[in-house]
Amino acid sequence: MTTSTPVPHVLAVPADEHLRLMSSPQRVDRTLELLDADEYPTLRLGTDLTWVGLQAGLNNTPAAPALSGGEMWRDHPPVHALADMQVTMLADALADTDPATVEETGGLVLEESFGEVSDGDIAAAVTRLTEFFRAAADRGDAVIIAFV
């Protein structure tokens, strides 16, 4: 499953760094620099259609903003920022999400829309996303989702 569509890279930053970024007119450029530098924890959700299935599977759940919520910093390709309090709420919502259910729902979308089969990739991505958000929440971090 490969595509040239931008995929989400999830970056956890300390709350004070998030505030600095929010006040900067170059916040998107700085975020991309931070992603390249690997200075802060980053979750790269792949270069394939797994994230499409993940987003479809999380759609209409309390955990949906983990991929597309927060303050929009750029429209295309999207860059969104979630404050530390939002990260904590989403960590709890993700913890209450059943990876098998997300796999089933998202897998149907992949198969119907792209003729692709997930083979457990979506459920694994839910687990990785859940662990990432929990760790970020435990540190008090904000999260930035950049589609690159």
Give per-residue pLDDT as tens, 25-50. Answer: 999 999 999 999 989 999 987 656 88
Sheet holding 42-44, edge to edge: 42-44, 8-13, 142-147, 79-82, 71-74
Asked whether the whole model's pTM tops 0.75, one would answer yes
* Cα of 71 vs its chain's centroid, Å: 13
Beta bridge partners of 145: 10, 80
H helices present in the chain, as ranges: 15-22, 27-37, 50-58, 65-68, 84-95, 99-114, 121-139
Predicted confidence (pLDDT) per residue in 70-125, tens digit: 999 998 888 999 999 999 999 999 999 999 999 999 999 999 998 888 889 999 99
Question: Does residue 4 register a pLDDT over 80?
Answer: no
Helix (H, G, I), strand (E, B) or coil at 144: strand
Average pLDDT over residues 65-71: 91
Would you give the DSSP letter of residue 62? T
What is residue 2's predicted lDDT score, i.e. its pLDDT?
Answer: 46
Average pLDDT over residues 2-27: 87
Question: Does residue 62 register a pLDDT over 60?
Answer: yes
Cα separation of 139 and 31, whole Å? Answer: 19
Question: Does residue 3 register a pLDDT over 60?
Answer: no
Helix (H, G, I), strand (E, B) or coil at 37: helix
What is residue 86's predicted lDDT score, i.e. its pLDDT?
Answer: 97
